[in-house]
Amino acid sequence: MKTSIGLVEVPEQARAGASGRPAAGTAVYMAIDVSRSKLVYCVRWDGAEQRRLSTPGELEHLQAVVGQYRHCALRVAYEACGFGYEPAWWLQQERIAVTVIAPSRVERAPGSGVKTDRLDAGKLARKLEAGELKGIYVPPRALHADRQLGRTYAQCIGERKRAQIRIRSLLQEQGRCGPLPTLGWAAYQRWVAAQELPAPVRQCVSVHEHLRALAAQQAQGLRRALQQLARTARYAPLVGALAAQSGVGALSAIRLVLELGDLERFARAAALTHYLGLTPSQYSSGEVDRRGHILKCGPAALRALLLQCAWAAIRSRRDPTLAAVFARLAPRLGRKRAIVAVARRLTVALHRRWRAALAAPATPTPV
C-alpha cells in the first residue's frame, strides 16, 4: 500500500507498530542517500528507526517529504556526492538544520560485502542521531558560482600543459627530443618550428598546438574575469590584504578567497594548515614520536597554489622570515621539503592577514 504525497511516493511504514507521525517538537533525524535517479530516506525519532522510503531524485520530492516534519525539531544529513548543494541551500533557507557529509569521512565496516542505498541511509541516520557526523562547509550560492571561475581557469591551465606534454611525447617517439623542459616552452616552440617533419607528424603537431593555443586563450579570458572579480567591493578588501603578502598576487589571492570562503570556520592557523594537508603526519606512542610526510588531505589544487606562492616568495626575497626558513632547511632536508615548510608558514601569515582584514572597517581596497 502506497500513500501519495504531492509528487512523492511514500511506501508503507517500514517498522511494524511504529507511529505514523511524531508529536510536535520531537527531535527527528532524517538521513538521505542521494543518487542521480532517486533519494532514499531513513527517518528516526524516539531512539528508533520509524520510517524508510524512496522518491525520485528531484528537489520537489525532497521538499514534500521534509514538509511532513516541519512541526518537529528536524535535522537532515546527506553525503556530498557531486550533485551540488541545492538540497542544503533550500534546507538552510527554510531554517532546517542540515549536515552535508564528505563520503570519505563516513566509516565503512571492514569486510562488509553488502552495500545498498537503504543500508547507507540507515547508517547515516544512526550516526546523525548519535552526533557522530562532522559536516563540510557549504558555500553560499553566489560564492559557489564565483569560485567556478577559478576552478575552470585551473582546468584550462592543465589542458595547456597536457597539450605541451603530448607534443613533446609525440616528437620524442619520432626521435626528436628537443630542448629540455627547464628551458621553457618558447624555446621548445622555436625548435619545433625549425624541424622538417613528415606531413602526418606535422599535422598531428599542429592539432596539439591548436588545442594548446585554444586552452591558453580561454585561460586568459578567465584570468581577466577573475581579476575583474577581485576588484569588486565584495572581494577587494580581502584580496588587497592577502596580496600584500610576499609571493601572493591578486590572482592567487582571489582564488584563495573563493576556495576557502568563510575563514571563521578555522579558529586557529593550525586548523587551516591541517585542512590544506600541509601538516606532517605523526606517529606517537610512548617514547616514540615520528614525523612523516605531509598529510595531503583537503583540496589538492589549493595546496599546489600555496606551494607556487611559496616559491614566488622565496624568489622575490621580500619576506626575510620566509627566506631565512628556506635557507636554513634546504641544505638539511632538501628544497622540496623546505618549500613545504615555507608554504606552511605562508599559510599562517595569510590567516593572520585575513582575520585582520575581517576585523577592519569595510573599506574597499584597490588591487
The pLDDT assigned to 288 comes to 74
Q: Which residue has the cell 620524442?
A: 172
Q: pLDDT-based confidence at 366, cuts 50/70/90? A: low
Where in the chain do CATH 3.30.420 domains reside?
Answer: 2-130
For residues 130-140, average pLDDT: 93
Q: Which of 57-66, 68-77, 187-196, 274-283 has the lowest mean pLDDT?
A: 274-283
Per-residue model confidence as pLDDT tens digits over 26-51: 999 999 999 889 999 999 999 999 99
Compare 217 and 5 and report the one with higher pLDDT.
217
For residues 84-105, average pLDDT: 92
Q: pLDDT-based confidence at 289, cuts 50/70/90? A: confident
Query: 3-class DSSP state for residue 257?
Result: helix
Q: Convert 254-279 to b/e letters by CB count within 10 Å (16 or more is b).
A: bbbbbbbeebeebeebeebbebbbbb
Per-residue model confidence as pLDDT tens digits over 311-324: 999 999 889 999 99
For residues 13-17, average pLDDT: 39
Q: Tell me how far apart the terminal alpha carbons of the chain are, to the nearest angstrom.
A: 64
The pLDDT assigned to 113 comes to 75
Asked whether the beta carbons of 308 and 282 are under 8 A apart, the reply is no
| Class (C level, CATH) for 2-130 | alpha beta
The pLDDT assigned to 364 comes to 52
Q: Which secondary-structure segment (H or E) carries 128?
A: helix 117-130
Q: Which of 13-22, 32-41, 148-157, 287-296 has the lowest mean pLDDT?
A: 13-22
Compare 367 and 170 and report the one with higher pLDDT.
170
Per-residue model confidence as pLDDT tens digits over 184-217: 999 999 999 999 999 999 999 999 999 999 999 9
The pLDDT assigned to 6 comes to 43
Q: How far is CA 299 from the centre of its chain?
A: 5
- Given a cut of 70, whether residue 352 has pLDDT beyond it is yes
**Within a 13 Å sphere around the CA of 227, how many CA atoms are in the beta-carbon half?**
8
How high does pLDDT run on average in the chain?
90
Q: Give the bridge partners for 4, in sequence order.
A: 9
pTM flag (> 0.95)? no
Q: pLDDT-based confidence at 273, cuts 50/70/90? A: very high
- Given a cut of 60, whether residue 10 has pLDDT beyond it is no
